[in-house]
Amino acid sequence: MTTLGPAPAWSGPSADPNDEQFGHVVEGTTLDAAAEYAAVLVGEPYDGAVIGRPGARDGPTAIRDALAGVKTHRFGRRPAGTVGRIGDVGDVTLARGSVRDVQDSLRETAAKLYDTGAVPVFLGGDNSLTYPNVAPLLGDDGDANRVGVVSFDAHLDCREVREGPTSGTPYRQLHDEGLETLVVVGARDFETTTAYADYLDERGGTVVTADAVADGVDATLDRIRTALSGVDSLYVSVDVDVLDAAAAPGVSAPTPGGLSSRELFALAGGIAGDDRVRGFEVVECAPSLDPTPTGLTAATAARTVARFLSEVSA
């Protein structure tokens, strides 16, 4: 069985009293008190299902550390700052056993978080966690709540489940339980196979390649919104490998030709403003694999979280 906590202590590292940072507005809390917040962070330190290089188990700590020092001000927003109270319920204590055992226990925890009414922000962890993070939204009958997912990812993650779930199978698992729509943004040529591309097409999915994102953020958001027009609830997943390898080298499978950090920030913020958004995650941030002395990958992941939080908590 999965448990939560204890919640970490947050503080803003700046010595300037005029600096409001996320470390000042995020508060450690409990599952019972999560309803007091518009959004709550939850860490999922797990990479036992990763297909590529492990290291994402360290993502939650690195993202929190980077986020604490991010300032809350956004230009063009009034009132300045516009970030409300955000809770942090701590890390999940993972169940022992197989990947499926871990997924089943995390699904129970995610369901409890959704029941609070707060928007959970899952800090991963590998992409296998997307399945338990989204599955509670489907309910007992997939037709009862039409759920759409926007997946920012270089890959489709629709592999068949063979010996067990992996970081490449979450959307196959979710489709099997009634996922209505999947929109993959940032997919790359030469990073998937035709069989999986055909599978997603047959399920009515939408792929917006990294090259197509170059047509502009507004055009991309229009394509995403059109594809999601028929869903009731929306979940947003950011696999950090959607970024170009130069912007995010510390991931399980870094590849060239991806999105810029500016594009990801704008797209994540544009989607976050949708009233149907019920959950958000950042996965595959592996700080131990980042060769940059500044921890560029975790810093970029943290700013993606900041952009999302500035929309849902305002």
pLDDT tens, residue order, the chain (314 aa): 568 888 999 999 999 999 999 999 999 999 999 999 999 999 999 999 999 899 999 999 999 999 999 999 888 765 555 688 899 999 999 888 999 999 999 999 999 999 999 999 999 999 999 999 999 999 754 446 899 999 999 999 999 999 999 999 999 999 999 999 999 999 999 999 999 999 999 999 999 999 999 999 999 999 999 999 999 999 999 999 999 999 999 999 999 999 999 999 999 999 999 999 999 999 999 999 999 999 999 999 999 999 999 998 76
CB-based contact 173:161 (threshold 8 Å): yes
Phi, psi of 160 (to 5 degrees): -70, 145
Q: What is the pTM of this model?
A: 0.95
- What CATH code is carried by the domain that includes residue 116? 3.40.800.10
Total residue count of the chain as it appears in this document:
314
Q: Which domain holds residue 166?
A: 3-312
In this structure, what token pair is assigned to residue 41? 């962070």
Interior angle at CA 186, CA 184 and CA 190, nearest 5: 100
Domain count, the chain: 1
